[in-house]
Amino acid sequence: MCVFLQALYPSPEEGWQIYSSAQDADGKCICTVVAPAQNMCNRDPRSRQLRQLMEKVQNISQSMEVLDLRTFRDLQYVKNTEGLMKVVDGKLKVASENPRSLNPKGFQEVKDKVNQLLPLLPVLEQYKADAKMILRLREEVRNLSLVLMAIQEEMGAYDYEELRQRVLLLETRLHSCMQKLGCGKLTGVSNPITVRASGSRFGSWMTDTMIPSSDNRVWSMDGYFKGRRVLEYRTMSDFMKGQNFVQHLLPHPWAGTGHVVYNGSLYYNKYQSNIIIKYHFRSRSVLVQRSLSGAGYNNTFPYSWGGSSDIDLMADENGLWAVYTTINNAGNIVISRLEPQSLEILQTWDTGFPKRSAGESFMICGTLYVTNSHLAGAKIYFAYYTNTSSYEYTDIPFHNQYSHISMMDYNPRERVLYTWNNGHQVLYNVTLFQVIKTSGD
């Protein structure tokens, strides 16, 4: 996976930006950087040109839609008045051939019919204007074609080696820009990307949240209780095809779907207990296990969908977390930051939010985001900030395509949300709002 970075600068002095990750269903992604003039990541003139062309094409498309709608409406009006026009035409022919046949009553009838046809005049005038618009649009399309051909010729003028060097240079600039990125506030969630449909209604899937980007392994855990079988796929492509995997048989069964892979180890809740287990994939052994003191388990304080989801383990840019609740906290969500080696609790926050009212939750940059439901129509509507021990209600919609989410976790390495939705493995790209540090800061 790769990160799609889009940096917006209102002025050269400001450093506000929105960025998001992006990847299509085939696992392909395009990385683009738009940065201020004083930064080493410069705008490509052809990118600006193409963007302007796209805006023109969009404007032309909108004009064509309006034109089509108006033409259809006016044509219907002309068709509806066709019979009236024939009647008027017939009466006028009779009157011209025999003027004496047109008595006062007949004259008034013709006059009334003509008055009914008067609204046709503005319609015909509009047709004239539309004809001019068609000529103008035809000219714009012709100009756009010429510009696109020029860009195509220019882009085709580079040989392969030169293009490769340009790509390497852009990658270097991209990494330089990304080094300046810090954490941000969630402002939006993309449309869902269905990666695969496999397994039962409930489950969990993930990639490592901390390993180098060259390691693309994917893990899948089907079911929410008493499971021990973990499938490890070599790449995302292999996972999509259901091939090239190895099986890990855990020494202890799991409960829920709140598992996380962090720095080569699987962290999960042991079945019918509040014990957290750290299982190391390479050595195929349990490195440490520790009880999460006071934490409810076995459907004492699950999410709204149940499924023994009492303890939810997750990772973000700030480390490893456990989201759960206790009797002492009256069933409200508790957040604890864990030490990854020993699983000791480093710090704990009481959010005051009832866990049974939550559909799912995930951590981004030390902030817990909670959904209001696991069913269709869900949205992210509560955020708790551990850095300030404060909360707010949010209104961030997302499309719950398969109407039953049983796992939702953020991966800080890829900046995407992994979800298990009614037997479908789905990704969401996220949009974060933040300040980018420039060289002058």
Whole-model pTM above 0.85?
A: no
Per-residue pLDDT tens over the stretch 1-30 = 443 333 333 333 333 343 444 444 455 444
Tell me the Ramachandran region of residue 130: left when phi exceeds 0, alpha when psi lies from -120 to 50, beta otherwise.
alpha
Of the ranges 20-34, 112-126, 166-180, 251-265, which is most confident? Answer: 251-265
CATH 2.120.10 range(s) for the chain read 186-433
**Rounded distance between C-alpha atoms, residue 58 and residue 54, angstroms:** 6
Cα angle 247, 249, 250 (rounded to 5 degrees) comes to 135
Judged on CB neighbours under 10 Å (0-12, 13-18, 19+), 149 is exposed
Residues sharing a CB contact under 8 Å with residue 193, sequence separation 6 or more, in sequence order: 23, 24, 25, 426, 427, 428, 429
Query: 233: closest CA among 201, 198, 257?
Result: 198
Mean pLDDT of 291-307: 96
Mean pLDDT of 184-198: 93
- Is pLDDT at 272 greater than 70 in this prediction? yes
Model pLDDT for residues 347-387, shown as the tens digit of each residue: 999 999 999 999 999 999 999 999 999 998 899 999 999 99
Question: How does residue 139 score in pLDDT terms, banded at 50, 70 and 90?
Answer: confident
Q: What is the mean pLDDT of the chain?
A: 80
Q: Does the domain formed by 186-433 have CATH 2.120.10?
A: yes
pLDDT at 148 over 50: yes
Q: Is residue 308 predicted with pLDDT exceeding 90?
A: yes
